[in-house]
Amino acid sequence: MAGVVQGADGEKMPLGRRIFKRAFVYLLDKKTDAFFRVLRRRNPVLVMAKANLVLVTRFHDVEACLANSDVFKVGYGPRIDAAVGCFMLGNDNAENAQHKAALLRLLSRHDSQRIRDIVTDASVEKLSGIGNRTAVDMVSDYSRYIPMQLVKRYFGFTQATNDELLSWSRAMQHDIFHNRDSETHIHQRSVTAGQAIRVSIRTEIARRKKQEAAASDDILARLLRCQNEEGNGFDDESVVTDLAGLLVGAIETTSFSLVNILQELLARPDVMLMAREAAAANRDALLHKLCRELLRLRPMNALLIRQCAEDYAMVGVNNKTVTIPAGSRVLLCTGSAMKDEDVVAEPNQFRLDRPDGHYFIYGSGSHLCLGDKIADIMLVEMIKPLLLLRHIEPLKQPDFDTGPFPEHYLLALSR
């Protein structure tokens, strides 16, 4: 048929729509800041009715939508459920909130030093062979490897191999958060990974119960001990789902974030000097602020997806009311919100005096990232030993290999 082309997974799409879609994706992925800046000024609540899609770009609007989980429901549920079961990230009900609170108590703030020790040990191991201008692939040799060690030693994936953990995590993260076109092969990889990981966890649960491994104190062991408490909701399948769900966000998000932090540091010599001095003085609180601000400038993910449950009115340009139709897929552009000139002073400049509320790196509201505190510790402890090296030099820009994650990032490191 003239004017019709084949889309993803065999979908037939009018040529004009196909061209528009490619242009839209190009602007969103390759010209992100410029695109968001234009939208904030000219069409801050962009409703594309034919595509059933809405972009929300201003700070206060994004903040309000993230706080209103009654109207703006998380859109990840079906993909998460297919992979790991009914995990809290995919649900907005009160039972989910209670379950999340219970799991957060197990991810104790008292574990901070333990997490630091695991990450530090893995970092020292991976950097032990550094000499003069040693070429290191930061992704495969460092930024993925270190969170995998935390997943094993702190979460409790003690029997899984590194290759299995990476494969499972990558497949699920890709489908749940980055499969914009709902491509079947990407979704099926995630489902297959979810099946494999659940088998692995069930096997580990059976092994621990048989051996009565009460001495363990990883997250899996804590979940199993909670089964003796009446009314906690942690039956075996719930434990399987919770542990599998924790894996989804543990490896690729950390790796991607570290790559972005390094890119920003290498592009800002004055900030690099400040970071080096902070690392040498063990000023972890300052390093945390540095990492957070660098991720505001180059976030790992610039948007969060929600489904609009009912017609919702917002104020658009020139104070005109814009209605987000019920059933719309809403892209809450957190990357844009963190650079909204009307709220964030000097949004394109590096500053350490910004209030905490100006950061949406881990989301906000009821679905604030479950592992935000763990991620903060990991990123500081991963970047610190790199900053203590004599020299860091980029040899190539990050290679995404047509996927959503950096696959390679080659640096020359010198002691």
- Of the chain, the end-to-end C-alpha distance in Å amounts to 63
Task: Give CA–CA dist 35/19, Å, rounded.
Answer: 17
Only one residue has tokens 């009912």, namely 310
Q: Where are the domains of the chain?
A: 75-301+367-414
Residue 196 parent element (H or E): helix 184-211
**352 Rama class: left (phi>0) / alpha (psi -120 to 50) / beta:** alpha
Residues lower than pLDDT 50 in the chain: 1-8
- According to DSSP, residue 218 is labeled S
Q: pLDDT at position 97, please?
A: 73
Question: What is the fold of 75-301+367-414?
Answer: Cytochrome p450 (1.10.630)
Q: Count the neighbouring beta carbons within 10 Å of the beta carbon of residue 144.
A: 25
Query: Based on C-alpha coordinates, what's the Rg of the chain?
Result: 22
Residues contacting 156, CB < 8 A, separation 6+? 204, 216, 218, 219, 220, 221, 243
Q: pLDDT at position 1, please?
A: 38
Angle between helices 252-267 and 284-297 (to 10 degrees): 90
Q: What are phi and psi for residue 231, nearest 5 degrees?
A: 75, 20
Q: How many CA atoms lie within 13 A of 370 on its CB side?
A: 23
* Residue 404, amino acid: P
Strand partners, 5: 13
Contact 221, 156 (CB under 8 A): yes
Residue 414 parent element (H or E): strand 410-414
Task: Give CA–CA dist 230/270, Å, rounded.
Answer: 55
Contact 252, 148 (CB under 8 A): no
Task: Give CA–CA dist 383/288, Å, rounded.
Answer: 10
What dihedral do alpha carbons 47, 368, 341, 288 form, nearest 10°?
A: -150
Full-model pTM: 0.92
Contact 380, 288 (CB under 8 A): yes
Q: pLDDT at position 4, please?
A: 37
